[in-house]
Amino acid sequence: MKKPFKKTWMIASAFTLGMAVLTPLQAGATTLETKDSNINVQIEQKISGTIKEVFGDGINLKGIDGENYFISFSKFSNEQIEKMNLVVGQEISIEGKVVDDYSDFYTFEVYKKDLPKEVTKEDLGKLEKLFNEIKKLEKEASDDVDKEVTEEELEKKYEEIEKVYEEMYKITKPYILANWQPETFEQYLEGFGFSEGNIAIKDNDKKQLQAIYEEWVKLEKSGDEEKANVKYEELYTILQPYLDELYPPQTFEEYMEGMELDIPAETMAKLKTLYEDAQKAENDENMELSETVWNQFHDLLSQFIEPLTFEEYMSDYDFEVSKEDKEQLKKLYEEAMKLENEKAEEKWEAFYNILEPYFALNKEILFFASKLTINNQDYLPQSE
């Protein structure tokens, strides 16, 4: 399988602090002399290029300098990003700074923009201190992963992070609850799409659901999460039969539709039995059995699926490898596809050892945007 790129966001954010990578883009850094010392001041850098891919709050950009960039717009509001109407192929200019890690995009300023405006200066100070503590702990945890420490040691570190999160939540919870405007029961029920599915909820169930929903809202508003969660479970106990009707499980025939595979009738019957047994185990909440049967199903089905050729596999990469490396890679790829378990892993490891220098050369430069210019229109974060 293809080596995953590391774009991990921890819980609600990512937390590694780091200094910006020194690249030719940073020629804009300048030094100011003061009476006491020299202070390095980073001037905002500017890049231009064409959008290759668009994500929720970021894009992949091919710079006019030939470099590949991942641009984060996390400083901007969702409304601003929507107005930008970013599409693949557009040419844009961006000002901002280069960062080391995806986690550097999640600063306290970014975190703060989603907080209620009523949060006091004193509480903002406490939150910033706790936020920076999480950054520090996450950096330590990241370093520990590189050192290959034990799972128990890592677990302790993440428990520390969770405790700090809880402290932050204690501060923000009253503000969040004070600003929360819950949906009416009618809006809540409408959101499931029962009417579109022509599913009518019985009058008795609807009355009971409304009473439970309104009780749940009161409990949430009061901050009693434990009792609120119990009420929410009561809601879903009544709603579940209607949800099952709205979203019936996919039949085996529906699952196999569109798969142009040459499977013998006897094997197809066995696949259908496994499929239905796996679904039954899920319905019975027997997750261990469900996983076992699903594995049997996919192992059997995979025997009839033609694997990607080496050329198809490599076509996803937007870089070329040398003729010599390509020959070696193809040999390892075809050998790995014929093997299983540890023997295959050895081939894959050798495969990616050859590709690693190419990944490094084509690594995206991470850029934290603070200004965007598109079609001669400038966008700045609302807080600036």
For residue range 176-206, list pLDDT tens digits in order: 999 999 999 999 999 999 988 889 999 999 9
3-state secondary structure 146-175: HCCCCHHHHHHHHHHHHHHHHHHHHHHHHH
Helices and strands: H and E segment counts in the chain: 13, 8
Report the pLDDT averaged over residues 159-171: 95
**Residue 2's closest CA among 327, 310, 339?**
310
Mean local confidence (pLDDT), 142-168: 88
What does pLDDT average to over the chain? 86
Supply the pLDDT for residue 135.
94
pLDDT at 4 over 60: no
In this predicted structure, the answer to whether residue 213 has a pLDDT above a threshold of 80 is yes
Task: Check whether 95 has a pLDDT greater than 70.
Answer: yes
Between these two residues, 1 and 212, which has the higher pLDDT value? Answer: 212
Q: How far is CA 287 from the centre of its chain?
A: 25
| pLDDT mean over 67-92 | 92
Query: Residue 38 phi/psi, 5° resolution?
Result: -90, 130
pTM for this predicted structure:
0.68
Residue 22 confidence (pLDDT) above 60: no
Quick check: 241 pLDDT over 70?
yes
Please give the residue that has the higher pLDDT: either 327 or 6: 327
Average pLDDT over residues 255-279: 94
- pLDDT reported for residue 7: 34
pLDDT of residue 341: 74
Please provide residue 339's backbone torsions phi and psi, each rounded to the nearest 5 degrees: -100, 170
Q: Which of residues 4 and 153 earns the better pLDDT score?
A: 153
Find the mean pLDDT for residues 162-185: 95
Q: Is pLDDT of 26 > 80? A: no
